[in-house]
């Protein structure tokens, strides 16, 4: 009787141990499969190591494609080489559909609006206020912006709702702050002159962010959109990666949301890549993240104590660093 009871207890313990080690079906590194699609999946978040010293953080946002459309797609060889060689957030999701709420989450820690035609003013806390309050510099490099400090509406292929700074009272009420919204061409000039700000918000126009067809063509294969975005990354972000400034820079490349039919966790699963100072090489995370964690990461890396909105309680992305 005792031997049977001991055997049953042993089998139970083995089963529990196995479940603890492998009972969660985590997402594959490529981001296109598995069941890791929600909070609490993967290892617990860890803080950014205090030894990580960063002078610059740059964020690039592309448009409207799910991870399964991007990762491993030969139409995006440059992006995929970065994802393979550096760090990939393999369980990362947008917050909502359509675009504007995701841009707001990345910069205010709140969705604010799901109306791409939103005309309101954001008076709450935001990344511009947090950075300025901590004495940190920032610029928004916007492709096809009509001119420095432009605060007006869409001028195709520039899209106002991809430029969340133009809604912030901190920027609208200050000519000095508005002047930090500049055309994309200023980016390479700042890289070459060694005057890159602490935070760079870098946005392609709608023909180069994988949203619209290149050349304003009425229709095109989806891979043509992705190829145009990849070529844009190579031409505009490649020089930053190859510059001396990159030794003290962390670069984050993400998408605002997945394809419209991808509603997982609000905005669908998206490909997000990190590279730069002390970022792990060949690393694939299975931890669940959304845009508020990217906002937190930007501020943590720059030693800014103010964390707007949901970024204050968002999971840290410290696991990407060594």
| Domains in the chain with CATH codes | 41-320 (3.40.720.10)
Lowest mean pLDDT among 9-13, 148-152, 293-297: 9-13
What pLDDT score was predicted for residue 37?
A: 63
DSSP letters for 116-182: TT----B-S--HHHHHHHTT--EEEEETT-SSTT--SS-BTTB-GGG-GGGGBHHHHT-HHHHTTEE
pLDDT tens profile 228-267: 999 999 999 999 999 999 999 999 999 999 999 999 999 9
Give pLDDT, residue 42: 55
What dihedral angle (degrees, nearest 10) is formed by the CA atoms of 45, 50, 53, 58?
20
pLDDT at residue 6 above 50? no
29 versus 95: which is more confidently predicted?
95
User: Which of 23-27, 55-59, 222-226 comes out lowest in average pLDDT?
Assistant: 23-27
- Eight-class DSSP state of 185: H
Question: Is pLDDT at 40 greater than 60 in this prediction?
Answer: no
Q: What is the pLDDT of residues 154-195, one digit of tens each?
A: 999 999 999 999 999 999 999 999 999 999 999 999 999 999
Compute the distance between CA of residue 54 and CA of residue 115 in angstroms, rounded to an integer.
35
Q: How confident is the model at residue 223 (pLDDT cuts 50, 70, 90)?
A: very high
pLDDT score recorded for residue 51: 83
- Provide mean pLDDT across the span 96-114: 98
Cβ–Cβ under 8 Å, residues 292 and 103? no
Antiparallel, parallel or unpaired: β 87-89 and 56-62: unpaired
């Amino acid at each position: 009787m005792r031997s049977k009871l001991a055997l049953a207890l042993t089998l139970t313990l083995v089963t529990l141990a196995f479940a603890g080690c492998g009972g969660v079906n985590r997402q594959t590194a490529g981001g296109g499969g598995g069941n890791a699609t929600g909070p609490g999946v993967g290892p617990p978040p860890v803080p950014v190591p205090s030894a990580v010293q960063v002078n610059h953080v740059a964020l690039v946002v592309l448009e409207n494609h799910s991870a399964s459309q991007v990762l491993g797609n030969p139409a995006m060889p440059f992006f995929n080489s970065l994802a393979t060689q550096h760090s990939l957030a393999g369980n990362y999701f947008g917050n909502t559909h359509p675009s504007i709420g995701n841009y707001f989450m990345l910069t205010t820690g709140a969705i604010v609006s799901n109306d791409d035609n939103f005309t309101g003013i954001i008076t709450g806390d935001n990344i511009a206020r947090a950075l300025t309050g901590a004495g940190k510099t920032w610029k928004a490099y916007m492709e096809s912006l009509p001119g420095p400090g432009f605060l007006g509406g869409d001028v195709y292929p520039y899209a106002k709702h991809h430029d969340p700074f133009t809604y912030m009272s901190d920027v609208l009420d200050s000519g000095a702050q508005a002047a930090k919204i500049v055309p994309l061409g200023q980016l390479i000039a700042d890289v070459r002159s060694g005057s890159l700000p602490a935070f760079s918000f870098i946005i392609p126009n709608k023909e180069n962010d994988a949203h619209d067809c290149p050349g304003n063509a009425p229709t095109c294969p989806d891979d043509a959109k992705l190829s145009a975005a990849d070529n844009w990354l190579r031409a505009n972000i490649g020089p930053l990666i190859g510059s001396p400034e990159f030794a003290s820079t962390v670069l984050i490349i993400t998408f605002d949301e997945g394809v419209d039919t991808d509603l997982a966790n609000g905005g669908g699963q998206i490909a997000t890549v990190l590279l730069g100072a002390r970022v792990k090489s060949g690393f694939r995370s299975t931890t669940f993240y959304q845009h508020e964690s990217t906002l937190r990461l930007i501020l943590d890396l720059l030693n800014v104590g103010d964390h707007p909105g949901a970024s204050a309680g968002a999971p840290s992305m410290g696991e990407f660093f060594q």
